[in-house]
Each structure stands twice: as C-alpha cells, then as structure tokens.
Chain A
C-alpha cells in the first residue's frame, strides 16, 4: 500500500486504512438493516387496527426541528474533521462539542415526540403501525444515543492525547457514523413523515 505524505493522518498507516474500509463495510450492513425496517414499515403502515393513522399523529414542527438539528450536526462534524486535518485541536473539539449538543437536543425532541404519541393513544402496542413506527424510529434514535457516548469518549481521547494517528483515525470513523445517521434520517423524514402527511 502507498502511504504518501499527501494522505490525511487518519489513513496514515495500513491499520488505519483498513479500519476505515472495515467501517464502511459495517455501514453497508447498516444500510441493509434499515432497508429491512423500511420494508416492514411500508408493509404495516396501513394496518392501524383501532388505533390512529400516521396522518392523525404526525406533526410537522418537531419533524422540521429534528431534521435541521441532524443536518446541522452532520455539517459541524464535517467541519471538525476539516479542523483536525489542519491540526487545529481547539477548533476540532469545539465543532465536536457542537455536534454532540445538537445530537442531544435531537434525542430530546424525539423523546418528546414519543411521549406525545403515547399520550394521544399511539403507544407501541396499539397497532402494527405504531409497533413498526417505534421500532424504526427507535432503532435510529438508539444509534444516535450510542453515538453521543462514543463521541464523548473520542473527545476525551483527543483532549488527553492530542491529534495523532490513532485519535485522528477514531475521530474520522466516528464522523462516518454520524453522517450515516443523518442519511438514515433523511429517508425517515421523506418516506415516513412527509409521505405519511402528504
């Protein structure tokens, strides 16, 4: 393998390149996981039994807020990686912190939304539709929650050890994960919420 000095730090060793490639393969599996959840959602979305339909429970305002939060956090984690490549540790950690705060607010809005659904009689056990809705949204939300803890660990390591081959590699892989969660959200936003409210 060619490790020229023009390669960013996070690719700089053979192990690092393989870590990144390996993570992309994991993301390929994640695409398939969410593919099966979407397939189930489309099958069950009209099986509402005696419960409410998607058009009756979805609200546009929290959905727009959640979308803007995740889109912006995807942008700021990109800026964090850019700052890392400039070896600008302080800016990198600031962008990382902004990203995680946006993620935390996203989870807050989503929890509000879930509580609201349960409150208006659309809990997970009400119908096939609410069951798959909570499963799909919950799987995405669980990924974001995991990402918050992972991101904090990465920040602590960068703070303690500085930007080196290992921490740069870990940070870049975290950024891939975070962007991927934004991609999944785009599909939830389009084919769960907007399609349901159209």
Chain B
C-alpha cells in the first residue's frame, strides 16, 4: 500500500494545498491591491511549476529540452498577449 503513495507526490500535494491556503489569504485578510496581486502571482506560478515538474514529469525524459522550450514559449506568448492587452486596453499607454 505504501509504495502506491510515493513521498514526492504526497509532499507535492500537501505543498499545493498550502499554496491554495496562502492564496486564500487575499480573500480573508484586508490587503491592498498590490499586496494581494503579489501574493496571487507568486502562489499561482509556483503552483503551476509544481504541477509541471512533480506531477507532469516534464524533466524526466530525453525530450526535456524541447518540452521546456515549448512550454516557456507558450507561456511567453500568453504573457505578451495578456500584458500587451492590458497596456493598450486598460492602462492607457
């Protein structure tokens, strides 16, 4: 039974619950917008990285170079789309 619950994945799950609890602080505490967004950005991206590395085994095969390159590329395009849109549509620059 024990071998079906590898420590690495159990710890990953516990850590992801902790990150969720920390993110929930922005709801339960009265934080400024900047402080709240800082917490959310950190918890969300750490959580995403945790899923990719621990649960999706992104680095385990010989294709890890292409896999990481592709995922970073996807994220960069997504972030450029999002921040480019914010710049032109919301921040009036």
- Using a CB–CB cutoff of 8 Å, the interface residues on chain A facing chain B are 1-2, 7-8, 11, 17, 20-21, 24-25, 27-32, 34-36, 38-40, 42-43, 60, 64, 67-68, 71-72, 74-75, 77-79, 82-83, 86, 88, 91, 175-176, 179-180, 182-183, 186-187, 189-191, 194-195, 197-198
Determine the chain A residues whose CB is within 8 A of the CB of B41 once the complex forms: 190
Q: Which of the residues A25, A175, A194 comes within 8 Å of B26, measured between beta carbons?
A: A194
Least CB separation from B83: chain A residue: A39
B9:A39 contact, CB within 8 angstroms: no
A83:B74 contact, CB within 8 angstroms: no
Cα–Cα, bound, A190→B84 (Å): 20
Q: Which of the residues A32, A38, A42, A198 comes within 8 Å of B77, measured between beta carbons?
A: A32
B82:A28 contact, CB within 8 angstroms: no
Determine the chain B residues whose CB is within 8 A of the CB of A64 once the complex forms: 24
B75:A31 contact, CB within 8 angstroms: yes
- How far, in Å, is B15 (CB) from chain A's closest CB? 11
Interface string of B56-68 (1 = CB under 8 A from A): 1010111100110
Given contacts A42-B82, A60-B27, A194-B26, contact A186 B90 (CB under 8 A): no
Q: Which 9 A-B pairs have the closest CB atoms?
A: A35-B78, A31-B74, A28-B74, A39-B85, A75-B13, A190-B44, A28-B70, A190-B40, A78-B55
Q: Which of the residues B4, B23, B52, B62 comes within 8 Å of A2, measured between beta carbons?
A: B62
21 contacts between A and B (CB under 8 A): A2-B62, A7-B61, A11-B61, A17-B61, A28-B70, A28-B71, A29-B74, A31-B78, A38-B78, A39-B82, A42-B90, A43-B89, A64-B24, A71-B20, A77-B55, A86-B4, A179-B55, A183-B48, A183-B52, A190-B23, A190-B41
Secondary structure at the A interface, as helix, strand, loop or mixed, is helix
- How far, in Å, is A97 (CB) from chain B's closest CB? 14
Q: Which of the residues A28, A30, A195 comes within 8 Å of B36, measured between beta carbons?
A: A195
**Count of chain B residues near A, Cβ 8 A:** 51
Determine the chain A residues whose CB is within 8 A of the CB of B90 once the complex forms: 42-43
**Which of A30, A82, A186, A187 has the most C-beta atoms of chain B within 10 angstroms of its own C-beta?**
A186
- How far, in Å, is A12 (CB) from chain B's closest CB? 11
- Using a CB–CB cutoff of 8 Å, the interface residues on chain B facing chain A are 3-6, 9, 12-13, 16-17, 20, 23-24, 26-27, 31, 33, 36-37, 40-41, 43-44, 47-48, 51-52, 54-56, 58, 60-63, 66-67, 70-71, 73-75, 77-79, 81-82, 84-86, 89-90
Cα–Cα, bound, A13→B81 (Å): 37
B4:A79 contact, CB within 8 angstroms: yes
- How far, in Å, is B61 (CB) from chain A's closest CB? 6
B33:A182 contact, CB within 8 angstroms: no
A32:B66 contact, CB within 8 angstroms: no
